[in-house]
Amino acid sequence: MRPNPLMLCLPCLLAACTQVQTTRITDLVDQPLKTTELPGWEWTKAPLRANARYAMYRAHTASQRKERLGDYYYLDWYDAEPQQPVKIVMRYTQALTGMTVQTRTIDIPAPRQKAGTRSAHFFFSGPERAKGGDIMTWRIDLYSGGVLKDHRQSYLWE
């Protein structure tokens, strides 16, 4: 007698449905904005164009648009422990500050309504970018309940 194909797949389906989710970084996008000109209309430039339009929203004068130039980091993370406070720490160096490591922190208090995907962002533009220059190296740490859960870093970070 030939086995039912559905019965052969059942253990795989059950394993996929019961996979334990952990607090972790799911996606990180670094979108630098180096010119006030919008990228072209080719489909390959769509993400760059969308970021430029987002960053330049309501920047009407040339000086306002120039202040929006910089580095934009968009972070998506999965929050498996909404009862725990979360801290996202970005450490970075800039071109004009040498090897001085600087820090930015996002604190997200507990409790949150439910587990799920969340977003955070770090922007480096305006006077801060004019003073320190472009971001050269970076590392982003995700803490939940004071415990390091995940991190991402640039390939130059040591």
31 with 47: CB under 8 angstroms? yes
Indicate whether 94 pLDDT > 80.
yes
What average pLDDT score do residues 24-40 get?
84
Average pLDDT over residues 24-30: 93
CB atoms within 10 A of CB 93: 21
Mean pLDDT of 69-86: 94
Alpha carbon of 75 to those of 90, 114, 151: distances in Å?
11, 19, 11
Which 3 state secondary structure label does DSSP give 26?
strand
User: In the predicted model, is pLDDT for residue 114 greater than 90?
Assistant: yes
- Whether the full predicted model's pTM is greater than 0.85, yes or no, is no
**Mean pLDDT of the 17-36 span:** 82
Question: Is there a contact between 135 and 71 (Cβ–Cβ < 8 Å)?
Answer: yes
65's enclosing H/E stretch is helix 62-67
Distance CA 26, CA 117 (A): 8
Section 36-55 average pLDDT = 76
The predicted-structure confidence for 97-112, as pLDDT tens digits, reads as follows 989 999 999 999 989 9
pLDDT higher at 62 or 74: 74
pLDDT of residue 109: 95
Mean confidence (pLDDT) of the chain: 86
